[in-house]
């Protein structure tokens, strides 16, 4: 695969990282009493362990130039030492804390929904047994990226929307205090740099013979993630046919 075909195949996966039930979460249609399911499953599938998943790409990578980019991202995620001031998994917990949820549930062994466990198993497999390029793609592109990745690479494509913090759906629909959006703020500060570094590593440093395997893994991640989000939607009482237009 040449560089452009590889880039387009990765972008084609990311442009489908959208789930039908997401508008229910951003328009206040999920019952407040069930919203904890979403935060708990996100935390236990990838947020809590994101630095470890990323670290697996680092330890398998033979290329110093790629390792440096991965190490910088890992350091920020694990410590917040470059920008956020606190570890990103800890900052994530400000959302449930601000919503008055029982944080003890996040400290214990959270039970994953079946589709969440299946996705987590695939994350573990892709970050341990498929080489550094797949581990880097799955963590820095699939997990950290959005459906707006094209906008990170191409100045003419639509960029990730960044509404004012006061307009954040959790603030508007669930009365989350704006101060609890610490992770949202941190990501806005560092994410542009992370996105550019992630794409540099994948497009400039991954050998062409590794491209097809990376794309296969990304497609599998997307399918497992969509099934995971179906599971979360069901557990949060979101029914496809009754979803109102937001
Ligand atoms: Fe982060």
Residue-wise pLDDT tens digits, 39-89: 999 999 999 999 999 999 999 999 999 999 999 999 999 999 999 999 999
Assess whether pLDDT exceeds 80 at residue 245: no
Which pTM does this prediction carry? 0.96
Q: Which of the four pLDDT bands, split at 50, 70 and 90, describes residue 190?
A: confident
**How many Å lie between the centroid of ligand 1 and the Cα of residue 70?**
13
**Cα(66)–Cα(241) distance, integer angstroms:** 45
% of the chain with per-residue pLDDT over 90: 89
3-state secondary structure of 57: helix
**Residues around the ion ligand 1 (C-beta < 5 A):** 88
Assess whether pLDDT exceeds 90 at residue 124: yes
**How many Å lie between the centroid of ligand 1 and the Cα of residue 88?**
5
**How many Å lie between the centroid of ligand 1 and the Cα of residue 1?**
30
Q: Which of the four pLDDT bands, split at 50, 70 and 90, describes residue 246?
A: low
* DSSP-derived secondary structure letter, 42: H
**How many Å lie between the centroid of ligand 1 and the Cα of residue 151?**
19
Q: Which of the four pLDDT bands, split at 50, 70 and 90, describes residue 222?
A: very high
pLDDT of the residue at 125: 98
Choose the weakest-confidence range: 23-37, 93-107, 188-202. Answer: 188-202
**How many Å lie between the centroid of ligand 1 and the Cα of residue 169?**
19
Assess whether pLDDT exceeds 70 at residue 119: yes
Mean pLDDT within 4-26: 97
**How many Å lie between the centroid of ligand 1 and the Cα of residue 53?**
12
pLDDT of the residue at 193: 81
CA-nearest of 130, 149, 152, 136 to 67 is 136
Contact 129, 239 (CB under 8 A): no
Angle, alpha carbons 118-124-125 (nearest 5°): 90
pLDDT of the residue at 109: 86
pLDDT of the residue at 86: 96
**Which of 1.20.910.10, 3.50.50.60, 2.40.50.140, 3.40.50.300 is the CATH number of 3-242?**
1.20.910.10
**Cα(41)–Cα(37) distance, integer angstroms:** 6
**Cα(172)–Cα(27) distance, integer angstroms:** 9
% of the chain with per-residue pLDDT over 70: 100
Contact 146, 187 (CB under 8 A): no
Total length of the chain: 246
**How many Å lie between the centroid of ligand 1 and the Cα of residue 83?**
10
Assess whether pLDDT exceeds 90 at residue 156: yes
């Amino acid at each position: 695969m040449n560089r452009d075909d590889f880039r387009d195949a990765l972008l084609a996966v990311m442009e489908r990282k959208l789930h039908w039930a997401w508008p229910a979460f951003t328009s206040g249609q999920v019952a407040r009493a069930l919203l904890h399911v979403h935060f708990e499953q996100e935390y236990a599938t990838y947020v809590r362990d994101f630095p470890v998943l990323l670290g697996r790409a680092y330890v398998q990578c033979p290329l110093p130039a790629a390792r440096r980019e991965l190490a910088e991202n890992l350091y920020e995620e694990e410590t917040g030492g470059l920008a956020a001031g606190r570890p990103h998994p800890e900052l994530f917990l400000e959302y449930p804390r601000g919503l008055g949820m029982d944080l003890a549930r996040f400290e214990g062994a959270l039970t994953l929904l079946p589709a969440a466990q299946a996705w987590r198993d695939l994350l573990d497999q892709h970050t341990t047994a498929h080489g550094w390029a797949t581990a880097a793609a799955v963590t820095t592109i699939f997990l950290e990226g959005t459906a707006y990745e094209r906008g990170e690479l191409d100045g003419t494509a639509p960029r990730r929307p960044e509404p004012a913090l006061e307009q954040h759906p959790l603030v508007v629909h669930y009365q989350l205090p704006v101060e609890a959006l610490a992770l949202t703020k941190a990501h806005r500060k560092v994410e542009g740099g992370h996105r550019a570094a992630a794409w540099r590593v994948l497009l400039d440093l991954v050998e062409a013979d590794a491209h097809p395997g990376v794309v296969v893994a990304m497609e599998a991640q997307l399918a497992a993630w969509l099934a995971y989000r179906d599971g979360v939607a069901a557990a949060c009482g979101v029914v496809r046919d009754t979803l109102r237009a937001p």
